[in-house]
Structure 1
Amino acid sequence: MAKSDETGLHRRRFLKGVVAAGGATIAAPNARAAQTEPAGNTTKGTTPLPNAATQSQERGHPPDVEQLTTEKTGSDFMVDVCKTLNLDYIAACPGSTFRGLQESFVNYGANKRPEWLTCLHEEVSVGMAHGYAKVAGKPMAAIMHGTVGTQHAAMAIYNAYCDRVPMILFTGNAGPLTDRRPGVEWFHSVQDGAATVRDFVKWDDYPMSLQHFAESTVRGYALACAEPPGPVFLVADSKLQEGPLEDHEARKLKIPRLTMPSQTAGDPNALREAAKMLVAAENPVIIADRYARSQGAMDDLVRLAELLEAPVIDNRARMNMPNTHYLCQSERAGTLIGQADCILSLEPVDLFGQLNAMRDQIERTDSPKVKAGVKVISISTRDLLVHSNYQDFQRYVGADLNITADAQTTLPFLIEAVQRQTSASGKSGSEMRAEKLRQAYRNALERARTEATYAWDAKPISTARLYMELWGQLQKEDWALVSDSDFSSRWPHRLWPLEKHYRFIGGSGGYGVGYQPVASLGAALAHRDAGGRVVVNVTGDGEFNMAPHTLWTAAHHGIPYLTVIQNNRAYHQEIMHLQRMANRHNRGVTTAPTGATIDNPNIDYAKIAMGYGAVGIGPIEDPNDLADSFRKGIAAVKSGQPALIDVVTQPR
């Protein structure tokens, strides 16, 4: 404490003194009114002398005074715990159930590591953490306001769970009923804070003490990162947050040291068997799904594919295989899987769906994509995180060799086993097979380029023209695409060179609408911190309408990225479903757009962007205006601003 604090009157002690003095002052008139003043004891203009009763009362202990301030709180210790973890940010829409924590993060924690980020909806807070983790390779934290905030955030949490993405989630809760203020605190509090989301988080806890909070938070961080990763959910009780923490209590508290778990590698015997199967195959195929978390993992996949001269089908749940390599044959998936005699599947999201097809008819039937006798090897951690209620684990299929391990950690050991097996057997990858694959790669690329020219000058604008005009302005930049392309005919994967791990981050995991704008914000934050890449998010209008206010957070916190609205003025996926139902019921398709279009009136997304503090351009209806619009948008991003360009497009 500074010398002036020692000799002067400390502000908080002063406030306590005012409370005590105020209480005595208020009580004094009542005490005087109860006295009977003796005659002759007063003089006009003087204070009467106290009688015996008053003197006796004053000699006793003063009444208890309610403590209204404290030097250190439980939430300060909670911040100390979080600062021992590798957390750079915590995102939140403000809420009173975590008011103690927020104040401590901002003041006691100096708003640094983690830095507090303001969002306008809990779904943005969690979705932001989702996109951030996929680029940064580590968790971000988000906090929700009690029952209602958790319900707001639930869909974003589910997306992250299905996508196996680590994050640390907190919610506030007023626990003991005697501590709840009448009214709103009862509506926003709950007996079991994680009940709403327990089926789709990896782990949860409701700490009952500050020591409990410290151990659970450190444990939660480690669990979130262990493969398969996922969200963990912790309840921060309001009384623990706001209660005073005396020095003697603080000295008893210990923050455990974070020890990160090592990732599981495949059993050596199983890998030797897998190598034998792959080397012996005439037509091996590799399918990569939720596999790569780093550039090193991509490089390993290329090494294995080249050793075997095996085509790779990248299902794009992550950036797995550079599409500039001739062995990246994703567009020929159906043909290659049908010809394969040995399939290696790396972290499959849906192994059954990789091997079988289902017809969406009145009676649903399935049939194998693969030929009889095909050998299937699976390397995956999917069996280590299976819950009962939410069926994200898909249908069961037994692989010939099921290796329960982290595929990224395991692949270098599999490469060694394949090298030893190749040397022992004297067999190497087929040069004839390699040449066929090179020719097939060239043919697929040429076909994609030809198809992109169709409707080149059409209005509404074709999605192929949109992506190629965007690429024309983007190709000289260090760029990252943080949106999926499934609803854009996969044009960037077919035409753009995706050769580095950070070029693409995969999709939502749970297909919850609204993921794209919020995850893009978090991904852009991580890219900003990594050196300022030009980040691009191409999103549908229906997707963007779920969270347009994301742009305010981007503008407020200086997170630059380009949002391109693929504006087909409809939930087109649902229109196609309605058309299918109408056909099935023999009713025609003319009414299919009813209830699924976003027009009459048309929405002006550029004005919305400007209203939130971002740069807004459009709507663009003439394809010849695309190049200039993209040039302006990229320039705004490079200057540090979020920007949005509204492009009126064809459905897909």
Structure 2
Amino acid sequence: MKSKKKKNTLGRREFLAGAAVTSITAPFIENDANSQQPNTLEKPSAPLPNSTQSAMEQENPDNYTKEQRAGYFIDNPGSDFMTDVVKALNIDYMAINCGSSFRGFHESILNHGGNKPEILNCVHEEQAVAMAHGYAKVSKKPMAVMFHGTVGIQHAAMAVYNAYADRVPVIVFAADHDHLDDRTSEVKWAHAAQDPLSPIRDYMKWDDYPKTLQHFAESSIRGYRLATTPPMAPIGISFGTTIQEQNIVEKNLNIPKVRKPSIPIGDLNAIDEAGKMLAEAENPVIVVDRYANSQGSVNNLIKLAELLQAPVVEQMGRMNFPNTHYLRQGAGVAAQADVILSLEVKDTWNIVNRTRDKPDLPYSKRTKPDVKIITLGMTEVIFRSNYQDMNRFFSADLSIIGDGDSSLPYLIESVSKYLTNSKKNQIKQKMITWTERFKSQKIRDIEAARYAWEASPISTGRLCLELWDLVKNKDWALLAPEKFHSRWPSRLWKIDKHYQLNGDSGGFGQGYTSPASVGAALAHKEFGRLPISIVGDGDSMYTPGVHWTSAHHQIPLLSIIHNNRGYHQELMHVQRMANWRQRGEPGSIDPGNVINKPNIDFAKVGEGLGIWTTGPITSPNQLRAALRKAIDVVENGEPALVDVITQPR
């Protein structure tokens, strides 16, 4: 799709000036070969059943003996009860890649449960879990996933780790050929395990392997409560084929009521002490990461920041603080802080310290030696030994364990109590300083976006700002991490609603972005929002099949491939090694890092998977028209993909 019309493009300065104002304020064809086959049929290996016999099997007639019925039919399968359990959890969706080990459960959901929860047809387990991950961050409720034996669990592993590291709830069901007599082939033996979930146990909050239906009910309720109580994380329930497929023999089965526990808040005395420290500070700073769960969360943080006139450093694990607010500042403000509030931050050590990626790994301090650090959140409550996602240890001056979102109103109350009138007057004077600093940073970002405005391959600044001009008056949501396109939306868009950014993957595993975006888009569909995902070419190739799922389930999503034809971050790592070692020639670091020869045509990939596509877009003058058409497609309820050939970052 190419456009040569000048009216579809904006001049660089005209466009950027506008951005600055906004920011600061296939039919099926039968194979011919098939028609050339001889018109013959193979003889059946056994006589086909006559009509009477077929009716006996399909219609369950009364003239069966008791023994015959037992051999042909299951009247009250255990998986019907299991379906009732899942429905009691009020789970809307279950993402699966079908497997014979859970065929009973699958059938019950469809025919006993009326496809509730709704089955999402996925072509890979990693895709299924990542969809659940993205969905939960938008909907604030978990999705269920179901795995087939040993192979399904291992396929899902990376995505489960991402969800765990991001502290996002996913309800994992995993089927197993538990009974000797059920293992009727070598395939079933290969798909069976004594402890099915052991490969992923180190990055789940809890798991169980119930052997009875009552145990399944109780463990499912327990797991749901654990998964959705901060710190949230995936939980797993294994089950065998036996309890699914056999008639129910247990008596007095019941499903416990689903009552979620209260959210833990921080110790009120400690919160009061923190409020006093912040109120008395000369230069308080707030650093925030995985804090906000709602617009109310965002508003509370604004209230605290304005009360103190404290700059907020957004680490973007969630959308926590508007990028249009003058107190949104860069990480450099920590250098002058005397008190820092670290709010639901994964890595407090790196707020205070820095180790550079140089041969001698030089260490330096980012802050004053006597700075006081307050930590508030749940990051210290859950981590494992083997997987080291807890980051480097830091001993805070005041460490408060409690959910940051639920605890913040009490902290605001405490700060208000300790602020004297003279202190309030002193604090007001800071507004001018922070406002001017905020405006200056916006101007620098605008200037940076001018660079390579007319370049081909297309600059990521041009890509993001052309897109912004088309969506700024719509109800949109960005679903992908921003790091690999230089965080242009956070730098130059207007982002003030909690659902407009969805954070990163948690574990930084490739293959997250496309399926997580489809899952998030499913949650946004209810509200009629325009979901947008800017995804790298390398990341996209891990899980391209999810585009078929989005087409199959009619999940509207605008996917934009940031196609720099390489793993650019890894290329730069290898280049750094070459620099340290003072060797190499131009192009010598390309093998293993670039994605070319042949170039991947994502438009053809997406078209083959059933979604609307255009590209590759190589000229910036083609970009606007392509994006506009794709947006129209998405607003009509279909997924669309635009393949854009870009600069590296």
User: Tell me, what secondary structure is at the counterpart of 1:545?
Assistant: helix
CA distance in 2, matches of 1:15, 1:423: 85
Q: Quick one: structure 1 residues 104 and 428, their matched pair in 2 at CA, closer, same or farther if it must change by over 3 Å? A: farther
CA distance in 2, matches of 1:63, 1:441: 80
1:575-604 deviation per Cα after TM superposition (whole angstroms, max 9, x unaligned): 001101111222136211211111111111
Q: Quick one: structure 1 residues 163 and 76, their matched pair in 2 at CA, closer, same or farther if it must change by over 3 Å? A: same
With 371-380 and 581-590 compared, the bigger mean Cα shift is at 581-590
- The letter of the residue matching 2:539 is E
Which one of the candidate residues 153, 166, 186 is aligned to 2:189?
Answer: 186
User: Tell me, what secondary structure is at the counterpart of 1:67?
Assistant: helix
- The letter of the residue matching 1:280 is E
Which one of the candidate residues 205, 211, 215 is aligned to 1:212?
Answer: 215
Query: What residue in structure 1 maps to residue 457 of structure 2?
Result: 460
Which one of the candidate residues 226, 230, 254 is aligned to 2:229?
Answer: 226
1:313-332 deviation per Cα after TM superposition (whole angstroms, max 9, x unaligned): 00000000001110111xx2
Which one of the candidate residues 541, 544, 548 is aligned to 2:544?
Answer: 548
CA distance in 2, matches of 1:416, 1:403: 16
Correspondence 1:403-442 to 2 at 5 A: 403-423=400-420, 427=424, 430-442=427-439
CA distance in 2, matches of 1:96, 1:139: 24
- The letter of the residue matching 1:170 is F
- The letter of the residue matching 2:645 is V
Query: What residue in structure 1 maps to residue 331 of structure 2?
Result: 333
Aligned-residue CA RMSD in angstroms? 1.6
Which one of the candidate residues 389, 394, 407 is aligned to 1:397?
Answer: 394
Query: What residue in structure 1 maps to residue 17 of structure 2?
Result: none
Query: What residue in structure 1 maps to residue 479 of structure 2?
Result: 482
User: Tell me, what secondary structure is at the counterpart of 2:71?
Assistant: coil
Query: What residue in structure 1 maps to residue 268 of structure 2?
Result: 268
CA distance in 2, matches of 1:87, 1:589: 56
Query: What residue in structure 2 maps to residue 520 of structure 1?
Result: 517
More contact order relative to length (CA 8 Å, sep ≥ 6): 2
Q: Does 1:381 align with 2:385?
A: no
Query: What residue in structure 2 maps to residue 287 of structure 1?
Result: 287
1:188-226 deviation per Cα after TM superposition (whole angstroms, max 9, x unaligned): 010001100000000000001000000000111110000
1:393-430 deviation per Cα after TM superposition (whole angstroms, max 9, x unaligned): 01111100000000000000000000111148854552
Which one of the candidate residues 589, 595, 598 is aligned to 1:592?
Answer: 589
Which one of the candidate residues 567, 579, 583 is aligned to 1:583?
Answer: 579
1:271-302 deviation per Cα after TM superposition (whole angstroms, max 9, x unaligned): 11111111111111000001111110000000
With 171-180 and 413-422 compared, the bigger mean Cα shift is at 171-180
Query: What residue in structure 2 maps to residue 176 of structure 1?
Result: 179
Which one of the candidate residues 140, 152, 157 is aligned to 1:154?
Answer: 157
Give the percent of matched residue pairs that are identical in Structure 1 and Structure 2. 48
Correspondence 1:299-338 to 2 at 5 A: 299-329=299-329, 332-334=330-332, 336-338=333-335
Q: Quick one: structure 1 residues 224 and 468, their matched pair in 2 at CA, closer, same or farther if it must change by over 3 Å? A: same
- The letter of the residue matching 1:252 is N
Query: What residue in structure 2 maps to residue 4 of structure 1?
Result: none
1:143-182 deviation per Cα after TM superposition (whole angstroms, max 9, x unaligned): 1111011100000000000000011001110113233112
With 562-571 and 379-388 compared, the bigger mean Cα shift is at 379-388
Give the Å deviation of 1:68. 2.2
CA distance in 2, matches of 1:184, 1:16: 36
Q: Quick one: structure 1 residues 455 and 424, their matched pair in 2 at CA, closer, same or farther if it must change by over 3 Å? A: closer
CA contact (8 A) 2:285 2:334 kept: yes
Query: What residue in structure 1 maps to residue 277 of structure 2?
Result: 277
User: Tell me, what secondary structure is at the counterpart of 1:430?
Assistant: helix
CA contact (8 A) 1:359 1:365 kept: yes
Which one of the candidate residues 89, 99, 104 is aligned to 2:103?
Answer: 99
Which one of the candidate residues 74, 79, 88 is aligned to 2:78?
Answer: 74
CA contact (8 A) 1:16 1:68 kept: no
1:460-489 deviation per Cα after TM superposition (whole angstroms, max 9, x unaligned): 100000000011111121100001110111
- The letter of the residue matching 2:273 is E
CA distance in 1, matches of 2:98, 2:60: 31
User: Tell me, what secondary structure is at the counterpart of 1:192?
Assistant: coil
Give the Å deviation of 1:15. 5.7
Give the Å deviation of 1:127. 0.3
Query: What residue in structure 2 maps to residue 51 of structure 1?
Result: none
Higher Cα radius of gyration:
1
1:486-516 deviation per Cα after TM superposition (whole angstroms, max 9, x unaligned): 0111100000001000100100000000100
- The letter of the residue matching 2:583 is R
CA contact (8 A) 2:95 2:120 kept: yes
CA contact (8 A) 2:179 2:241 kept: no
CA contact (8 A) 1:307 1:428 kept: no
- The letter of the residue matching 1:642 is P
CA distance in 1, matches of 2:562, 2:491: 18
CA contact (8 A) 1:308 1:428 kept: no
Q: Quick one: structure 1 residues 15 and 149, their matched pair in 2 at CA, closer, same or farther if it must change by over 3 Å? A: farther
| Divergent runs of 4+, >3 A | 9-18, 62-66, 423-429
CA distance in 2, matches of 1:183, 1:429: 77
CA contact (8 A) 1:582 1:589 kept: no
Which one of the candidate residues 198, 202, 213 is aligned to 1:199?
Answer: 202
Query: What residue in structure 1 maps to residue 240 of structure 2?
Result: 237
CA contact (8 A) 1:583 1:589 kept: no
CA distance in 2, matches of 1:272, 1:195: 43
Q: Quick one: structure 1 residues 269 and 106, their matched pair in 2 at CA, closer, same or farther if it must change by over 3 Å? A: same
CA distance in 1, matches of 2:112, 2:585: 62
Which one of the candidate residues 122, 136, 139 is aligned to 1:133?
Answer: 136
For structure 2, list consecutive stretches of 5 or more residues without a partner in the other structure: 1-54
Q: Quick one: structure 1 residues 99 and 357, their matched pair in 2 at CA, closer, same or farther if it must change by over 3 Å? A: same
Q: Does 1:349 align with 2:352?
A: no
Query: What residue in structure 1 maps to residue 30 of structure 2?
Result: none
CA distance in 1, matches of 2:214, 2:590: 57
CA distance in 2, matches of 1:211, 1:430: 60
User: Tell me, what secondary structure is at the counterpart of 1:313?
Assistant: strand
CA distance in 2, matches of 1:589, 1:496: 40
CA contact (8 A) 1:422 1:428 kept: no
Correspondence 1:468-507 to 2 at 5 A: 468-507=465-504
CA distance in 2, matches of 1:98, 1:424: 66
CA distance in 2, matches of 1:426, 1:547: 54
Query: What residue in structure 1 maps to residue 638 of structure 2?
Result: 641
CA contact (8 A) 1:308 1:429 kept: no
User: Tell me, what secondary structure is at the counterpart of 2:395?
Assistant: coil
Which one of the candidate residues 106, 109, 116 is aligned to 2:113?
Answer: 109
CA distance in 1, matches of 2:448, 2:68: 83
- The TM-score, its normalising length taken from structure 2, stands at 0.89
Equivalent pairs counted in the alignment come to 594
- The letter of the residue matching 1:615 is W
Q: Quick one: structure 1 residues 374 and 558, their matched pair in 2 at CA, closer, same or farther if it must change by over 3 Å? A: same
CA distance in 1, matches of 2:166, 2:425: 36
Give the Å deviation of 1:611. 0.8
CA distance in 2, matches of 1:258, 1:582: 58
Give the Å deviation of 1:16. 7.9
User: Tell me, what secondary structure is at the counterpart of 1:155?
Assistant: helix
CA contact (8 A) 2:179 2:240 kept: no
